[in-house]
A and B are shown apart, each in its own frame.
Chain A
Amino acid sequence: EAGVAQSPRYKIIEKRQSVAFWCNPISGHATLYWYQQILGQGPKLLIQFQNNGVVDDSQLPKDRFSAERLKGVDSTLKIQPAKLEDSAVYLCASSLVSINGNTIYFGEGSWLTVV
């Protein structure tokens, strides 16, 4: 079974530029998550989708971050304009449904460096 796919794996941009990350979850998984992992810290949830609807985006910096999952399958996370503090790994994850205790599967991450 294919895992969670993410691209690009690595990206270096200058501050104030824009960047987009793509994620394709495990087939059949209704729930998709985007986490931000800053070096030396644990992952922090940015946004959670259930099919094509947003379940939780309370920690998404909406002035610069946006995410969509238009057809309820793959998803795109965009940052515009980027700041130095956005340098992090952006982890996409998926699970069958949004139920506590359900296993969440993670992709390998998209590593962003803002210079």
Chain B
Amino acid sequence: AQSVTQLGSHVSVSEGALVLLRCNYSSSVPPYLFWYVQYPNQGLQLLLKYTSAATLVKGINGFEAEFKKSETSFHLTKPSAHMSDAAEYFCAVSGGNQGGKLIFGQGTELSVKP
């Protein structure tokens, strides 16, 4: 079975600081990995996804993530946080016989201090 663990339910950074949101996955087959963002009272928006091409994936709004098979990780980073980045971030996995559906982590709430 596949699963995702997001380390830290809440992360707080200062504006302009590095953003690092951690995601570790468990999968017996090559995984597809996703990061979604959810702003208050809205649905989920895709930030980026890994589909076995380049291990460093660039997404929207300056975010990127690196797939590290040896560490079973797919951490999300952004060099400089903006106030508008404050939101809930979800890591998700699919693969094997999942038929395309996503299995989500529990989410990390990002706060950005001025």
Contacts and interface: CB of A to CB of B under 8 A. Distances in A.
B35 to A, nearest CB: 12
Contact of B99 (A4, A43, A56): A56
A106 B45 contact: yes
Contacts, number: 71
Contacts of B42: 108-109
Chain B's interface size range is 20 to 34
Interface of A: 4, 31, 33, 40-45, 48, 55-56, 91, 93, 95, 97-109, 111
Interface of B: 4, 9, 32, 36, 41-46, 49, 51-52, 90, 92, 94-96, 98-107
Given A41-B107, A100-B94, A48 B101 contact: yes
B90 A104 contact: no
